[in-house]
Amino acid sequence: MSSKKVFGVLLTEQAWNELGSALEPYTSTGSLGRYIYCEEVKTGGQYFVMVATCKNTDGSSFTAELAIHHHFVKMFISANEKTEIGFIK
Structure confidence by residue, pLDDT tens digits, 1-38: 557 899 999 999 999 999 999 999 899 998 889 999 99
In this prediction, residues 62-77 reach a mean pLDDT of 96
Mean pLDDT for all residues in the chain: 92
Q: How many residues can be counted in the chain?
A: 89
Binning pLDDT at 50, 70 and 90, where does residue 86 land?
confident
Distance CA 35, CA 37 (A): 7
**pTM for the full model?**
0.87
Provide the 10 A C-beta neighbour count for residue 25.
Answer: 14
Torsional sign, CA 59, 64, 67, 70: positive
Distance CA 40, CA 53 (A): 10
In this prediction, residues 68-88 reach a mean pLDDT of 93
CA dist list (Å): 22 to 33, 50, 68: 17, 14, 11
